[in-house]
Amino acid sequence: DTGVSQDPRHKITKRGQNVTFRCDPISEHNRLYWYRQTLGQGPEFLTYFQNEAQLEKSRLLSDRFSAERPKGSFSTLEIQRTEQGDSAMYLCASTAQRRSNTGELFFGEGSRLTVL
Amino acid sequence: GENVEQHPSTLSVQEGDSAVIKCTYSDSASNYFPWYKQELGKGPQLIIDIRSNVGEKKDQRIAVTLNKTAKHFSLHITETQPEDSAVYFCAASMPGGGADGLTFGKGTHLIIQP
């Protein structure tokens, strides 16, 4: 399977615990995005990387959230001291950015977080 | 930043009928408008997209129209089939992808009645 893969698919944790999600993008894609999706809503932008550089972060991304893409390949999203409001689907997407044109975003199947 | 409004939130049509979903956007600089289909438990998947230099695009039973002056775009699905049942999202993006990538609407739950 050469699509975007995310791990784990489901995570149940207790409030206050730390969780980490991993995303493996399509190999030739230089841009990687993290989105959050809550029930009945569209995906909301969290952050994105161009290669290993994190270029933008949404104000939705509090200090408890950190994302990395150390070698410009896979990425991790860590949430520290989880809160019940963090319960959501965390989606990763990748694209090959070409010049000034927006490319198709390829989404993974998401990591669903439930904070008890 | 960009704001995308989508309606209706739920659309129920008889199998074989057509379905139309409409979106409006706020930033006239946006130039890329994709539509994504999301099935239960899966990530969104691109089904069709249109760029601001084109007014209409068609792919088999699916078509998208764009009115730049009015800043709205629509998804048209003809001869609907049970497998079309899903949540559909419109989105908008500015040149270069913008710092925020895509801004999504809130989605339309399309239900195909047999």
Q: What is the pLDDT of residues B37-96, one digit of tens each?
A: 999 888 999 999 998 878 999 999 999 999 999 999 999 999 999 999 999 999 998 776
pLDDT of residue A102: 59
Q: Is the CB of A42 less than 8 angstroms away from the CB of B32?
A: no
Per the DSSP assignment, residues forming a β-bridge with B32 are B51, B93
User: In this predicted model, which residue has the larger pLDDT, B96 or A23?
Assistant: A23
> Cα–Cα distance between B103 and B39 in angstroms, integer?
19
Q: What is the pLDDT of residues A2-13, one digit of tens each?
A: 699 999 999 999
Q: How many angstroms separate the CA of residue A78 from the nearest CA in chain B?
A: 20
Position A100 confidence tier, pLDDT thresholds 50, 70, 90 = very low
Q: Is the CB of A43 less than 8 angstroms away from the CB of B89?
A: yes
Q: How far is CA A30 from CA A14, A33, A54, A112, in A?
A: 34, 10, 12, 25
> Cα–Cα distance between A105 and A50 in angstroms, integer?
13
Q: What is the mean pLDDT of residues A97-116?
A: 81
**Is A44 in contact with B106 (CB distance < 8 Å)?**
no
Chain center to CA of A63: 15
> Cα–Cα distance between A11 and A19 in angstroms, integer?
8
**Is A89 in contact with A36 (CB distance < 8 Å)?**
yes
User: In this predicted model, which residue has the larger pLDDT, A14 or B100?
Assistant: A14
pLDDT of residue B97: 58
| For residue B8, cis peptide bond before it (omega within 30 degrees of 0) | yes
User: In this predicted model, which residue has the larger pLDDT, A28 or B107?
Assistant: B107
Q: What is the mean pLDDT of residues B16-40?
A: 94
Q: How many angstroms separate the CA of residue B36 from the nearest CA in chain A?
A: 10
Out of B46, B91, B99, the one facing A56 most closely (by C-beta) is B99
pLDDT of residue B54: 80
Q: How far is CA B29 from CA A61, A88, B38, B68, in A?
A: 25, 31, 27, 10
pLDDT of residue B62: 98
